[in-house]
């Protein structure tokens, strides 16, 4: 994976320069990172740096053969890459999303810019390789960077095959996923026992159960963490968007609600990457704002959680 | 997948697309098949015209047209357009094709009533259904191109097609109910998750269609109204 990104391209492509005038703190550099560099986190197993904001494709990229919508989603992906994103998450469960990602990658000529992550989602534990190969063809990538067992479905069998595939160089990283707080106990046991590179789980300002055990365990075990449902499937916006941001938001590096929700997540030390999904270029720009600037510190994180609870 | 695995999924997990994508299916199919939907309009008018006659041959022709409508909307809309974004919809598409086949079998193997039936109100209901239901996706999508024609859109076809039950003899009716009832359940859950409230009228109309068909069908010891 190679990242092509520079400051000029960033400013031109995004229009975030205008936003920066409105939000003086957006480019304030309080974390020691150059203001226009994307914030990255290292995958503990290899030290590879990946941008902390990725992209999900559940619902949003499942548009079937609708050429008009495929073009729109291609623009969303273009914006994502232009703003420094690399990690794209999919699953065979997401209908036509894999095909649409594949078409968009082809149109953008961007296969070398992606950190391609998908899942194995089948109850037949002997089908791991077959499904991975099907997905690979649909995405049009040489190989996946990350293959995850979706929702622990048939995890024993799949994980064995994934380990073998990793040893053979057919995939770079392997992992497991859950969401909505499901099966955390079993998830924890697997994290303790298995040699995982990544876990994917739900974490957002309202769903914080993982702060107690799973996130500390991931740090302890050196497992990278991808966070799904960072906006609780969009309901965080529906609940809070009409409310004002707190006056101190700027000090925490936050210029809008999307950044508020995302920066809370990615500032947790165990989190490697959050993968918000969107159908809209404007929303993608907002979300990618969280990839830049300052991050809230521990005290500010607490204030963020308290503020949302108070609304 | 085991039962426990299925239970860990919610309704939302099976509605893996947004309302915009769903409503555009109507627009896309209408654009792609133009001008063939005029044929669907002709069929929608021909059926009540045939029902106005009380002879068995016209009824069999009407049922034959309804059976073609099930097959066309199942294979065209559900398998061709909806299936790629929602795998259960693809299965329903094939179930619609089987439903059409069942109707054709009823036509061929004597499942059609020969007795007089209350065809006036039946025709009125038919016309109200085909003319009324087609606007529901239009209201939701805000585009007249989303019009849901009988024989093209599965919801309109199922709801209106239920009235054909009135023409069928008892033993065939039970068979003819399974797919529409399952489809009503599935589509109601889907419209609920998508929050496309107007479309909830489609499964409701299907259930009303079943009631109306039983009401209008010829009964022992009762003269047609
Ligand atoms: N078990 C699993 O492995 C699992 C489970 C769940 C999710 N995931 C992964 O995680 C990804 C993210 O989760 P998710 O898609 O469920 O939910 P999410 O990212 O929390 O929320 C997506 C919703 O937020 C809205 N949104 C995004 N950016 C916005 C903005 N700036 N302003 C206002 N609204 C905005 C989107 O609407 P618009 O389209 O209008 O922007 C969309 O409806 C998924 O796509 C999937 O890849 C994995």
Q: Per-residue DSSP letters for chain A?
A: ------HHHHHHHH-HHHHHHHSTTTT---SSS-TTSPPEEE-TTT--EEESB-EE-TTTT--TT-HHHHHHHHHHHHHHHHTT--EEE--TTSTTHHHHHHHHHHHHT-GGG-EEEEEE--S-TT-HHHHHHHHHHHHT-SSEEEEEEGGGTTHHHHHHHHHHHHHTTSEEEEEEE--TTTTHHHHHHHHHHS--SEEEEE--SS--GGGTTHHHHHHHHT-EEEEE-TTGGGHHHHHHTTSPPPGGGGGGT--SHHHHHHHHHHTSTT--EE----S-HHHHHHHHGGGSS----HHHHHHHHHHHHH-
Residues of chain B positioned with their CB less than 8 A from the CB of A64: 17, 21, 25, 81, 84-85
At residue B113 the predicted structure's pLDDT band, cuts being 50, 70 and 90, is confident
Q: Is A30 exposed, middle or buried (0-12, 13-18, 19+ CB in 10 A)?
A: middle
Task: Give the span between the Cα atoms of B20 and A3, in whole angstroms.
Answer: 33
Select from B172, B166, B158, B164 the least CA-distant residue to B205. B158
Distance between Cα A170 and ligand 1 center (Å):
29
Report the alpha-carbon distance of residue A60 to residue A100 in Å, rounded: 10
Query: Which band of pLDDT confidence, cut at 50, 70 and 90, is reported for residue A6?
Result: very low
Distance CA B201, CA A294 (A): 50
For A146, phi and psi rounded to 5 degrees?
Answer: -140, 130
Residue B9 is assigned to a structural domain of this protein: no
The gap from C-alpha B89 to its chain's centroid, in whole angstroms, comes to 14
Distance CA(B148)–CA(A101), nearest Å, equals 30
Q: Are B17 and A59 inside 8 Å of each other by CB?
A: yes
Task: Give me the half-sphere count of Cα atoms (radius 13 Å) on the Cβ side of residue A111.
Answer: 14
Indicate if the pLDDT at residue B222 is higher than 60: no
In tens, the pLDDT along A18-76 reads 443 333 333 333 344 445 799 999 999 999 999 999 999 999 999 999 999 999 999 99
Boundaries of domain holding B106: 17-216
Q: Ligand 1: does its nearest atom lie under 6 Å from the Cβ of A267?
A: no
Residue B53 located in a structural domain: yes
CA neighbor of A92 nearest in space, from A128, A54, A145: A128
Report the percentage of chain A scoring pLDDT > 70: 89
Query: Is the CB of residue A58 below 6 angstroms from any atom belonging to ligand 1?
Result: yes
Mean pLDDT of A76-97: 97
- B49 is a domain residue: yes
Q: Does A98 contact ligand 1 (Cβ within 6 A)?
A: no
B16 and A94 in contact by Cβ < 8 A?
Answer: yes
pLDDT exceeds cutoff 70 at A116: yes
Residue A264 sits at φ, ψ, to 5 deg, of -60, -45
User: Measured between beta carbons, which residues in chain A are less than 8 angstroms from residue B88?
Assistant: none
Interface of A with B (CB under 8 A): 58-60, 62-66, 68-69, 93-96, 123, 151, 153, 180, 182-183, 233, 279
Task: Find out whether B59 and B50 touch, Cβ atoms under 8 Å.
Answer: yes
The reply to whether ligand 1 has any atom less than 6 angstroms from the CB of A229 is: yes
Per-residue pLDDT band at A1 (split at 50, 70, 90) = very low
Nearest Cβ partner of A64 from B2, B12, B85?
B85
Q: How confident is the model at residue B14 (pLDDT cuts 50, 70, 90)?
A: confident
Is residue A50 within 8 A of residue A273, CB to CB? The reply is yes
Distance in angstroms between the alpha carbons of the first and the last residue of chain B: 53
Q: Searching chain A, which residue's CA lies closest to the CA of residue B15?
A: A59
Residue B11 inside a domain? The answer is no
Is the omega angle on the peptide bond into residue B88 within 30 degrees of 0, that is, cis?
no
For residue A269, count other CB atoms closer than 10 A to its CB.
12
**Predicted model pTM:** 0.90
> Which of A244, A287, A308, A236 lies closest to A56 in space, CA to CA?
A287
What mean pLDDT value characterizes chain A? Answer: 91
Whether B66 contacts B164, CB under 8 Å:
yes
Mean pLDDT, rounded, for B19-47: 97
- Residue B4: inside a domain, yes or no? no
Give the model confidence (pLDDT) of B156-198 as tens digits: 999 999 998 898 887 778 888 999 999 999 999 999 999 999 9
CA-closest residue to ligand 1 atom 48: A228
- CA neighbor of A288 nearest in space, from A4, A35, A16: A16
pLDDT at residue B12 tops 50 = yes
- Please give the pLDDT value at position A298: 95
Q: According to the model, what pLDDT value does residue B114 have?
A: 81
Q: Do A141 and A116 form a contact (C-beta atoms < 8 A)? A: yes
Atom 25 in ligand 1: which residue has the minimum CA distance? A234
Whole-number Cα distances in Å, A14 to A89, A288, B146: 22, 10, 34
A73 lines ligand 1 (CB under 6 A): no
**Residue B8 falls within a domain, yes or no?**
no
Number of separate domains in chain B? 1
Q: Which of A203, A229, A236, A261 to mutate to test the pocket of ligand 1 (most atoms within 8 A of CB)?
A: A229
Q: How many CB atoms lie within 10 A of CB A145?
A: 22
Specify whether the CB–CB gap between A285 and A75 falls below 8 A. Answer: no
- The answer to whether B96 and B73 have CB atoms below 8 angstroms apart is yes
pLDDT of residue A184: 95
All domains of chain A, ordered by start, with CATH? 50-310 (3.20.20.100)
Determine the pLDDT at residue A20: 39
For A96, nearest residue in chain B (alpha carbons): B85
Return the residue in B6, B9, B14, B17 with the most chain A beta carbons within 10 A, the one to mutate for interface testing: B17
Looking at the predicted structure, is the pLDDT value of residue B4 above 70?
A: no
User: Which of B2, B12, B85 is closest, CB to CB, to A62?
Assistant: B85
- Chain position carrying tokens 């919610």: B10
Query: What pLDDT is recorded for position A16?
Result: 43
Count CB pairs under 8 A between chains A and B: 51
Residue B224 lies in a domain: no
């Amino acid at each position: 994976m190679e990242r092509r990104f520079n400051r000029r391209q960033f400013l031109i492509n995004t229009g975030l320069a205008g936003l920066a005038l409105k939000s003086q703190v957006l480019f304030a550099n309080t974390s020691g990172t150059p203001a226009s560099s994307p914030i990255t986190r290292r995958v503990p197993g290899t030290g590879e740096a990946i941008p902390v904001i990725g992209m999900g494709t559940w619902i949003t990229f499942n548009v079937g053969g609708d050429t008009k919508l495929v073009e729109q989603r291609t623009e969303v992906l273009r914006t994502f890459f232009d703003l420094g994103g690399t990690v794209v998450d999919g699953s065979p469960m997401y209908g036509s999303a894999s095909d649409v990602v594949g078409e968009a990658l082809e149109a953008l000529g961007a296969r070398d810019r992606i950190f391609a992550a998908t899942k194995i989602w089948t109850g037949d534990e002997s089908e791991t390789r077959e499904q991975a190969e099907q997905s690979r063809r649909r995405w049009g990538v040489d190989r996946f960077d990350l293959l995850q067992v979706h929702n622990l479905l048939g995890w024993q069998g799949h994980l064995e095959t994934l380990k073998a595939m990793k040893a053979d160089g057919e995939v770079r990283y392997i992992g497991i996923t859950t969401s909505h707080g499901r099966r955390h106990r079993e998830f924890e046991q697997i994290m303790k026992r298995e040699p995982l590179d990544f876990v994917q789980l739900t974490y957002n300002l309202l769903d914080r159960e993982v702060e107690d055990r799973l996130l500390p365990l991931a740090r302890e075990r050196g497992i990278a963490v991808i966070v799904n449902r960072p906006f609780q499937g969009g309901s965080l916006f529906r609940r809070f968007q009409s409310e004002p941001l707190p006056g101190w938001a700027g000090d925490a590096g936050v210029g809008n609600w999307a950044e508020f929700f995302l920066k809370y997540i990615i500032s947790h030390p165990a989190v490697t990457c959050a993968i918000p999904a969107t159908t809209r270029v404007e929303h993608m720009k907002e979300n990618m704002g969280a990839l830049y600037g300052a991050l809230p510190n521990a005290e500010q994180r607490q204030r963020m959680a308290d503020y949302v609870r108070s609304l | 997948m085991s039962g426990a695995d299925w239970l860990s999924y919610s309704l939302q997990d099976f509605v893996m697309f947004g309302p915009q994508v769903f409503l555009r299916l109507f627009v896309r199919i209408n654009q792609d098949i133009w001008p063939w939907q005029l044929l669907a309009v002709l069929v929608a008018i021909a059926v009540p015209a045939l029902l106005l006659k009380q002879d068995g041959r016209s009824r069999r022709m009407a049922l034959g047209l309804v059976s073609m409508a099930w097959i066309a909307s199942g294979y065209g809309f559900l398998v061709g357009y909806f299936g790629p974004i929602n795998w259960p919809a693809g299965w329903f598409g094939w179930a619609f094709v089987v439903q059409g086949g069942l109707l054709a079998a009823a036509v061929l193997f004597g499942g059609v009533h020969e007795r007089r039936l209350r065809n006036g109100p039946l025709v009125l209901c038919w016309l109200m259904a085909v003319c009324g239901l087609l606007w529901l996706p239009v209201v939701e999508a805000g585009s007249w191109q989303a019009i849901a024609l009988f024989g093209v859109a599965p919801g309109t076809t199922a709801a209106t097609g239920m009235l054909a039950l009135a023409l069928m003899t008892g033993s065939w009716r039970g068979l003819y109910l399974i797919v529409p009832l399952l489809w009503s359940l599935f589509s109601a859950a889907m419209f609920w998750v998508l929050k496309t409230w107007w479309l909830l009228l489609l499964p409701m109309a299907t259930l009303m269609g079943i009631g109306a068909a039983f009401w209008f069908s010829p009964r022992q010891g009762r003269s047609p109204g």
